[in-house]
Amino acid sequence: AQISRDQRDPVPLSTVINAAVSEVEDYRRVKAGGVADCAVLGAAAGSVIHLLAELIDNALSYSPPTAEVRVSAVRGSAGGVLLRIADCGLGMTDSDRRMANMRLQAGGEVTPENARHMGLFVVSRLAARHGIRVGLRGPASGEAASGTTAEVYLPAAVLEGSHAGHAEPGVTTPRAFVVKPPSPEPAPPATAPPAAVRHNGTGQPVPPVSLLPRRNPASSGITDIPAA
């Protein structure tokens, strides 16, 4: 399905998902099911398609070549829709997932850092443009023991005629994905008053002895940063 950039009429969510799937190379491995019956406003449809295509392509890339990627969408409690894109790959470490979620929340302009992760940067910019929330999580209770799930929350503002109070059972509107930044290093202790100068009998002062270890320059304490 092709959606023009100047689309004005609302587009059924199922059509939006099909259009996103058609943009990825290995589309036969993508299975969509349980999609909520709603429509995306024409002004946002193109961005949502591109955003979903980036996430689906990423899920395919990190899954075994014969594994399926599953796409679903359910109503949220505030008139929005929660989409899930789940893969069966090896998953991500907590550190890698935290860094990826930080990139998804960053938005902003292209920098040498986010240029190395253009897929996540594109998703971040498109999401910020329409108030969409995106985040990655690991397997939840009752799901496969491996893999990563991308969750995309489309607010009521980008849906046609959405109203609160039509959520699927057990589905609540997700809060913004909160990513804890690395904890800052503690401030160095207050400098103690200079000790009295001691002499060793030669008339030369004895240098003070420090029991504190030397800190290597630029040691931030952050590890497991994903490679470019």
Phi, psi of 163 (to 5 degrees): -140, 145
Q: How far apart are CA 6 and CA 9, in angstroms?
A: 9
- Give the position of tokens 């589905």: 171
Residue 45's pLDDT is: 94
pLDDT of residue 190: 59
| Burial (Cβ within 10 Å: 0-12, 13-18, ≥19) of residue 94 | exposed
Mean pLDDT over residues 97-111, rounded?
Answer: 69
pLDDT at res. 198: 55
Tell me which range, 83-92, 170-179, 212-221, is most confidently predicted by mean pLDDT: 83-92
User: Which is nearest to 150 in space by CA: 11, 30, 2?
Assistant: 30
Report CA-CA distances (Å) from 83 to 23, 134, 155, 180, 212. 18, 10, 11, 24, 52
How far apart, in whole angstroms, are the C-alpha atoms of residue 62 and residue 54?
13
Residue 103: per-residue pLDDT? 73
Say how far apart CA 90 and CA 147 lie, in whole Å: 5
Q: Centre a 10 Å sphere on the Cβ of residue 196 and count the other Cβ atoms it contains.
A: 5
Q: What does the longest C-alpha to C-alpha distance in the chain come to?
A: 93
List 220's β-bridge partners, or say none: none
Angle at 147 between CA 225 and CA 144, to 5 degrees: 145
| pLDDT tens track for 14-35 | 999 999 999 999 999 999 998 8
- How much of the chain is helix, strand and coil, in % rounded to 5? 30, 15, 55
What are the tens digits of pLDDT across the range 187-221? 555 555 555 555 555 555 554 443 333 333 332 23
Q: Are 65 and 92 in contact (CB under 8 A)?
A: no
pLDDT: which is higher, 79 or 174: 79
Q: How confident is the model at residue 106 (pLDDT cuts 50, 70, 90)?
A: low
CB proximity list for 185: less than 8 A, separation 6 or greater:
221
Tell the burial category of 71 from Cβ atoms under 10 Å away from its Cβ (0-12, 13-18, 19+). buried
Span 51-81, pLDDT tens digits: 999 999 999 998 999 999 999 999 987 889 9
Residues 6 or more apart whose Cβ sits within 8 Å of residue 211: none
CATH for the stretch 11-158: 3.30.565.10
Tell me if residue 2 falls in helix, strand or coil.
coil
Domain boundaries, the chain: 11-158
Length of the chain, in residues: 228
pTM metric for this prediction: 0.66
Chain mean pLDDT for the chain: 73
